[in-house]
Amino acid sequence: MKMSNMLLNTMKEVPAETETPSHILMIRAGLMRRLASGIYNYMPLGLKVLKKIENIIREEMNDAGAQEFLASALLPSELWKESGRWQVFGPEMFKLKDRNEREFCLGPTHEEVITDIVRNEIRSYKQLPLILYQIQTKYRDERRPRYGVIRSREFIMKDAYSFDRSNEGLDISYNKMYEAYTKIFQRCFIDCKPAEADSGAMGGHGSAEFMVKSEIGEDQVVFCSKCTYAANIEKASIMADRNPKEDKMELLKIKTPNARTIKEVGAFLNVTSEKIAKTLIYIADGKTVVVVIRGDREVNETKIVNAIGGVLKFEMAPVEIVRDITCAEVGFAGPIGIKCEFILVDNEILEMFNFIVGANDTGYHYKNVNYGRDFTGSVGDFRNVEKGDKCPKCGEDLTIAKGIEVGHIFKLGTKYSESMGAFFVDEDGGSKPLIMGCYGIGVNRTMASIIEQHHDENGIIWPLSIAPYGVVIIAAVIKNDEQVKLAEDIYTKLISMGIEVLLDDRNERTGIKFKDADLIGIPIRITIGKKMAEGKVEFKIRGSVEVEDVDINLIVDRVEKEYTRI
Ligand code: ATP
Ligand code: MG
């Protein structure tokens, strides 16, 4: 491509309303332009990168035996009503009506559509196993679109769905996708880690999120400092600390006027928050849920929701309800004698002795409380992992980092096939629900994540496998016919080898050309300058400071050598 013909506008300044490197650089390098909040147009250079990523995904999906299909993005509401998600999705779903007042949505994901396809197409076990995938635009009216295409309202997703006869079959399909994802992210030069993820009320190890460590990540990921264990904080399990046993002392109700928070109670009674249990009250679909947890710990709401069997609406109880069920002002709630439907006790409470809880009486707490003697409940793991907690696999220290989820693989089981009636006839003649898995990759989010990990102060540093063009050729003096001629010769030669090359033939200063080449992140730069007289041209790899002088007749081989590395 000759740059004089190319639609490319680069910017020096940091554009308005951009905060993260990938967003800043995607605009500055002219890869995309904002149309509205969370909605972007891809320019020719940006689209080339997007297609490169799509092709890597496509190749690996095909290699794993998946077949490509393409569904509509405009979806009738009936399908969503069948699965029950028309309401559940809430305001994130873009809903609209046709001229006859029929309701539709712009697809935020396609489980319903694919289930509808297979219930019509799959009749027999002979058609299984099957993995279908598409690379298609999704729409989600995100509450907070931000960081450019990392969280946008229109984005491209590769979504795949597997169909099997048995759970063992599902395991095989899931593992195939796991391996394909590992290869895809390797080929994109993204450093990411599969982390165990929450798989809803059913539990199990049926879900992994591919996480890119990043300060702007909106997920918290727990990593082991020693082994390969990684999990989303929503899921990460905890080994309970053991405390030395104490003799149980007599339960006492004590006056604690004005001491409501853990801090205030601790200061008033002169104990650390590890000696206090806090009692939190939630409302889950109208039912009261009480959670008891050590004073310095944080409740994990996902674990709570899973423990009570999955709910639609889950929130902290409003003040009036707290007053009603504790018969006290806020700040004095405790598990002894509280009125509620569920009482969930974090397993760490069993390791505490003679601790303090609220007395459900304004201005009072109980002292010398012991689980089992003074109150009981359903015991489980209900808190968030914290720094200093131990790895459930190897016992070493866990660390917590923020992560961006670029991909997600999930064992769905029969959730959609049962609710939407997708059955097949098995070998024994019986009718059984299809066992499903679903697998997503955010294509644009992947593109932005690559930039997050591959840039410097001058711009993007594309890995060769992703770069829109592999090589840029610059003649230092555009008025020097010999230089221009040599630049064109090398350009033609590289193109004939199937290499994607930019020839910067613009009538601009060389400094500007270098800046643009760096900003748009072209991996290989060839400059034809003064040394041409000695039979040499300059060869430079983006991101390295080294400039090699290469013999003119060896330059093509030098470029080829770089390509053999990917
Ligand atoms: P998140 O928790 O980040 O909202 P999600 O759990 O809603 O993600 P999935 O429904 O599993 O995401 O979608 C599959 C993939 O699509 C994600 O792993 C992510 O890479 C991508 N994705 C999801 N929402 C967006 C968005 N708003 N913008 C860009 N990519 C997205
Ligand atoms: Mg989401």
What is the mean predicted confidence (pLDDT) over 495-506?
97
| Token pair 């982390």: residue | 195
Centroid of ligand 2 to alpha carbon of 151 (angstroms): 8
- Looking up residue 139, the CATH number of its domain turns out to be 3.30.930.10
Higher confidence at residue 236 or residue 238?
A: 236
Percentage, residues of the chain above pLDDT 90: 89
Residue 457 lies in a domain: no
| Token pair 């009486």: residue | 361
Q: Is it the case that residue 68 has pLDDT exceeding 90?
A: yes
Do both 317 and 431 map to the same domain?
no
What is the mean predicted confidence (pLDDT) over 161-169?
97
Q: Is it the case that residue 204 has pLDDT exceeding 80?
A: no
pLDDT score of 201: 60
Do both 262 and 319 map to the same domain?
yes
Do both 51 and 199 map to the same domain?
yes
Q: Report pLDDT digits (tens) over 13-38.
A: 999 999 999 999 999 999 999 999 99
Phi-psi region of 502 (alpha: psi -120 to 50; beta: other; left: phi over 0): beta
What is the mean predicted confidence (pLDDT) over 276-285?
95
Q: Is it the case that residue 203 has pLDDT exceeding 60?
A: no
Which helix (H) or strand (E) is 469 found in, with range?
none
Q: What is the C-alpha separation between 9 and 14, in angstroms, rounded?
A: 14
Domain edge (last residue) among 329, 349, 380: 380
Nearest CA owner, ligand 1 atom 8: 405
| Other CB atoms within 10 A of residue 286 CB | 8
Q: Is it the case that residue 48 has pLDDT exceeding 90?
A: yes
CA distances from 186 to 92, 161, 182, 278, 466 (A): 32, 22, 6, 45, 11
Q: Is it the case that residue 240 has pLDDT exceeding 80?
A: no
Do both 127 and 203 map to the same domain?
yes
What is the mean predicted confidence (pLDDT) over 218-231?
92
Higher confidence at residue 241 or residue 336?
A: 336
Q: Which residues pair with 224 in a beta bridge?
A: 398
Q: Report pLDDT digits (tens) over 99-110.
A: 999 999 999 999
Residue 269 lies in a domain: yes
Domain edge (last residue) among 451, 479, 510: 451
Closest C-alpha to 346, from 397, 386, 401? 386
Closest C-alpha to 522, from 479, 461, 466, 475? 461
Do both 443 and 479 map to the same domain?
no
Do both 282 and 163 map to the same domain?
no
pTM to 2 decimals? 0.89
CA distances from 354 to 93, 252, 260, 371 (A): 50, 10, 19, 9
- Looking up residue 555, the CATH number of its domain turns out to be 3.40.50.800
What is the mean predicted confidence (pLDDT) over 352-362?
95
**CA trace torsion 236, 239, 240, 242 (10° rounding):** -160
Do both 99 and 209 map to the same domain?
yes
How far from the centroid of its chain's Cα atoms is residue 306's Cα? 20
| Token pair 């002088």: residue | 549
Q: Which segments of 112-241 are extended strands (E)?
A: 130-139, 154-164, 192-196, 207-213, 219-224, 230-232
Edge-to-edge order in the sheet of strand 103-106:
74-76, 103-106, 94-97
pLDDT score of 38: 97
Range of the domain at 288: 252-380
Nearest CA owner, ligand 1 atom 4: 151
- Looking up residue 282, the CATH number of its domain turns out to be 3.90.960.10
pLDDT score of 309: 84
Residue 4 lies in a domain: no
Nearest CA owner, ligand 1 atom 28: 151
Do both 103 and 198 map to the same domain?
yes
Residue 513 confidence class, pLDDT cut points 50, 70, 90: very high
| Token pair 């809880």: residue | 357
- Give the least confident one: 83-92, 196-205, 309-318: 196-205
What is the mean predicted confidence (pLDDT) over 459-481?
96
The vertex-173 CA angle with 170 and 174, nearest 5°, equals: 85
Residue 245 lies in a domain: no
What is the mean predicted confidence (pLDDT) over 213-217?
92
Residue 365 confidence class, pLDDT cut points 50, 70, 90: very high
Q: Which residues pair with 41 in a beta bridge?
A: 33
- Give the least confident one: 158-167, 227-236, 403-412: 227-236
Residue 334 lies in a domain: yes
Q: What is the C-alpha separation between 315 and 376, in angstroms, rounded?
A: 23
Domain edge (last residue) among 391, 418, 451: 451
Residue 486 confidence class, pLDDT cut points 50, 70, 90: very high
Percentage, residues of the chain above pLDDT 70: 98
The mean of the pLDDT values for the chain is 94
| Tally: H helices and E strands in the chain | 14, 31
Instruction: Give Dmax over CA atoms of the chain in angstroms.
Output: 98
Centroid of ligand 1 to alpha carbon of 82 (angstroms): 23
Mutation probe of ligand 1 site: the residue of 155, 192, 402 with most atoms within 8 A of C-beta: 155
Atom of ligand 1 nearest to the CA of 407: 18
Which helix (H) or strand (E) is 336 found in, with range?
none
Residue 235 lies in a domain: no
Residue 246 lies in a domain: no
Residue 226 lies in a domain: no
Residue 555 confidence class, pLDDT cut points 50, 70, 90: very high
pLDDT score of 316: 94
Do both 60 and 186 map to the same domain?
yes
| Other CB atoms within 10 A of residue 256 CB | 22
As for ligand 1, residues whose beta carbon falls within 6 Å of it are 109, 140, 142, 151-152, 155, 157, 405-408, 440, 442, 444-445
Atom of ligand 1 nearest to the CA of 218: 3
Q: What is the C-alpha separation between 76 and 508, in angstroms, rounded?
A: 53
pLDDT score of 199: 78
Domains of the chain: total: 3
Do both 548 and 427 map to the same domain?
no
Do both 345 and 434 map to the same domain?
no
Q: Is it the case that residue 244 has pLDDT exceeding 60?
A: yes
| Closest ligand to the CA of 406 | 1
Atom of ligand 1 nearest to the CA of 150: 29
Do both 319 and 201 map to the same domain?
no
